[in-house]
Structure 1
Amino acid sequence: MTENTKIDFIYLSEEDMIKAGVTDMAQCVDTMEEMFGLLHHGDYRMAGPNNDSHGAMISFPDESPFPTMPKPTADRRLMAMPAYLGGNFQTSGVKWYGSNIANRERGLPRSILLMILNDIETGAPLAFMSANLLSAYRTGAIPGVGARHLARKDAKVIGLLGPGVMGKTTVASFMAVRPNVDTIKIKGRGQKNLDAFVEWVKENYPQLKNVHVVDSVEEVVRGSDLVSYCNSGEVGDPSKYPMVKHEWVKPGAFLAMPASCMLDDGMSSDNVRKVMDSIGLYKAWYEEVPKPAHHTIPLVGMRFMDMIDDKLMSESDLEDLGAIVAGDTPARQNDEEIIIMSVGGMPVEDVAWATVVYRNAIEKGIGVSLNLWDTPVLR
């Protein structure tokens, strides 16, 4: 029997990824929902001894004897985010994350991302993929999964802080699961971004007949059924993170928070349901970063972890989105309860969406076939 040692894989550029469906938000939300079910039942692995780590990041010192070594400037990250996902996926992969806020001065995105998808039996590459859109859509899809299970079915109003890429994909996922929404309120910092966002809304969601630019985070929250903070900003001082006050929040509101946020005592109290996209992720983060963790990772979930450590709340006060998706924890139980969800982002999400897009590409003959080798020199 002749061994077949040839290994080919496909390269998918950003245009190829679009042709293969990476911007299909409805399918992305469905894919993320399937992924959360596997997450809840344990059919996955991420990095670290706890199998829940966000990834492995290179850090740079404030001072170095090497003049060419990068400084730890704003949002400078070099990071590998590996994961395995079972179920119908049966793939593994790693997203390589390069980021520097100064990229914007060069006309580049803050982050430049690549994805390698691998066969789990041999470890051979299946695909090498442009991953900026992949990452943006899987991130935005998580609030949509939450809204499907936790938002009121008659939701009409979105309140959004931050009209950037994350804001767009979050709105897209809200609209995928709550298509009867007809109003959006937006707060941003720059008029150019606000104008571009309003045009994007009008072009893609004509059913959003009421588009209002507002001046304060309070106006974003008040009267909104679906709220998301997708802002960017400095990390380190939670008193400077955008606030949510309980008195602003409409009964029955669902808040999905993938960016920095601070909560008042009312929003941290027992009468607000607190959902995490993965409790295991926040536990792993909490082991890895200095305390208080909310100073380093500005998500509301890390505030909850600090509160647990300070005996101000119990881990049993937290609910896991995977358990809700699987039906082991109740979804929305009435029209009055306020629910806030912390969105951290996980490499299993990248693997899930990359697998679906890869299979679409193979089916449609999209991408460039590349050869690793016909016969390896070393074996």
Structure 2
Amino acid sequence: MTASPRIDFIYLSEPDMIRAGVTDMAACVDTMEEMFRLLHHGDYRMAGANNNSHGAIVLFPETSPFPDMPKATADRRFMAMPAYLGGRFRTTGMKWYGSNIENRARGLPRSILTFVLNDPDTGAPLAFMSANLLSAYRTGAVPGVGARHLARPESRVVGLLGPGVMGKTSLSAFMAVCPGIDTVKIKGRGRANLEAFLAWLDKTYPQIANVEVVDEIEDVVRDCDIVTFCGSGATGDPSTYPTVRREWVRPGTFLSMPALCNIDVGMEAPEIRKVLDNTGLYDAWYEENPKPVHASVPAVGIRFLDLAAEGRIDRDQLEDLGEIVAGEAPGRRDDDEIIIMSVGGMPVEDVAWGTVVYRKALELGIGTRLTLWDEPALR
């Protein structure tokens, strides 16, 4: 018997994605935890000969002889981020990522994202999705996985730099795994962003009784149980990245860094635990970029690799979150240790959460069914 050559797939708009559960942060954290176990055991593939690349990126020049070519601005890029994930997921997918910080002046998000999910055997599309929420929630969920294993369970105080989308989803994930959080300290650049965040916080987490807007990064970090830097900005000069200074960090703090971040010499000390969300991702970045890599890839985990290359820290200090999640390395060992985790973001996360949302959409009959072809014109 010959299978039908007809190929259908479903289109999921942003409202469809919400109805299918894309904003269920607790479920997203659990899904990311499952994904990290698969990463640790090697049941995945990403781009590049190393199978660990973040993706393929198109950047624009500062100047060009072509008057219609876009010019470089902060965070102006296009990126294709493909991956395969095994286990119960066993799907492939690709996020298509367009970003320009000047979008905000147009009333648009900084990044506009779509995601296609594919059958890993035939390559046929299963779904085409609006992906801003997909990406935002999977990004925030990874700090939640880190906090589940590396923060003190009784954590109460969160310090947040950058009250944007990533700040909201990171805090949502912390709330999912540390429900005793009752205090948030926030630093932002613009009043409008701060006011929008404060309104969201009041509506979403009324149990957070203490909210303090601070003016300095030091105040974000001091006297916190969990600290996260979620601000966007220009790369190129690591001295301009927000920096964590050892003197600000009290014993027992968990620092989750999904955005630009640097550290001072005190934070280089071996007693400060340094965790990467996937060691292979950082090795791929290091292989693919000019040195020092932190100038072009602002994740603090890349700073760790630059320091190791300079002989200032031992590469053996660096730990892998997947190994911790899999139970093959310790999570938090005592109430006093300081742990800083770098969050790089990976397309396998989009595949994991995209697959869960897609299957829920099928179960609930959500989405618009589209036809690629009844029969292919060429075979």
Classify the TM-score, shorter chain.
over 0.9
Match of 2:346 in 1: 346
Match of 2:158 in 1: 158
Q: Distance in 1 between matches of 2:212 and 2:299?
A: 26
Match of 1:17 in 2: 17
Match of 1:266 in 2: 266
Please report how far the alpha carbon of residue 2 of structure 1 lies from its aligned counterpart in structure 2 after TM superposition: 4.2
% identity of equivalent residues: 68
Q: Distance in 2 between matches of 1:61 and 1:192?
A: 31
Please report how far the alpha carbon of residue 376 of structure 1 lies from its aligned counterpart in structure 2 after TM superposition: 1.2
**Bigger shift: residues 305-314 or 363-372:** 305-314
Match of 1:178 in 2: 178
Q: Distance in 2 between matches of 1:242 and 1:169?
A: 20
Q: Distance in 1 between matches of 2:350 and 2:192?
A: 30
Match of 1:223 in 2: 223
Match of 2:95 in 1: 95
Match of 2:244 in 1: 244
Contact 2:60 2:77 in 1 (8 A): no
Deviation track 1:186-242 (CA, whole Å, cap 9, x = no partner) reads 111111111111111111111111111111111111110010000112211111111
Q: Distance in 1 between matches of 2:105 and 2:189?
A: 17
**Bigger shift: residues 30-39 or 284-293:** 284-293
**Bigger shift: residues 51-60 or 342-351:** 51-60
Match of 2:38 in 1: 38
Q: Distance in 2 between matches of 1:67 and 1:197?
A: 39
Match of 1:285 in 2: 285
Q: 1:240 to 1:3 in 2, by over 3 A?
A: closer
Please report how far the alpha carbon of residue 324 of structure 1 lies from its aligned counterpart in structure 2 after TM superposition: 0.3
Q: Distance in 1 between matches of 2:242 and 2:332?
A: 26
Partner amino acid for 1:73?
A: T
Contact 2:14 2:131 in 1 (8 A): yes
Q: Distance in 1 between matches of 2:101 and 2:185?
A: 27
TM-score of the superposed pair, with normalisation by structure 1 = 0.98
TM-score of the superposed pair, with normalisation by structure 2 = 0.98
Q: Distance in 2 between matches of 1:80 and 1:48?
A: 12
Partner amino acid for 2:238?
A: P
Determine if the alignment matches structure 1 residue 213 to structure 2 residue 210.
Answer: no
Partner amino acid for 1:255?
A: L
Q: Distance in 2 between matches of 1:59 and 1:161?
A: 27
**Bigger shift: residues 203-212 or 60-69:** 60-69
Q: Which runs of 5+ in 1 are unaligned?
A: none
**Bigger shift: residues 191-200 or 21-30:** 191-200
Q: Distance in 1 between matches of 2:273 and 2:116?
A: 37
Match of 1:333 in 2: 333
Question: When the two structures are aligned, how many residues end up with a matched partner?
Answer: 379
Q: 1:6 to 1:39 in 2, by over 3 A?
A: same
Q: Distance in 2 between matches of 1:245 and 1:64?
A: 40
Match of 1:193 in 2: 193
Contact 2:74 2:233 in 1 (8 A): no
Q: Which runs of 5+ in 2 are unaligned?
A: none
Alignment partner of 1:224: what SS? coil
Please report how far the alpha carbon of residue 3 of structure 1 lies from its aligned counterpart in structure 2 after TM superposition: 3.2
Q: Distance in 1 between matches of 2:199 and 2:5?
A: 52
Match of 1:359 in 2: 359
Please report how far the alpha carbon of residue 255 of structure 1 lies from its aligned counterpart in structure 2 after TM superposition: 0.3
Deviation track 1:148-181 (CA, whole Å, cap 9, x = no partner) reads 0000011110000010000000000000000011
Match of 1:60 in 2: 60
Q: Distance in 1 between matches of 2:65 and 2:234?
A: 27
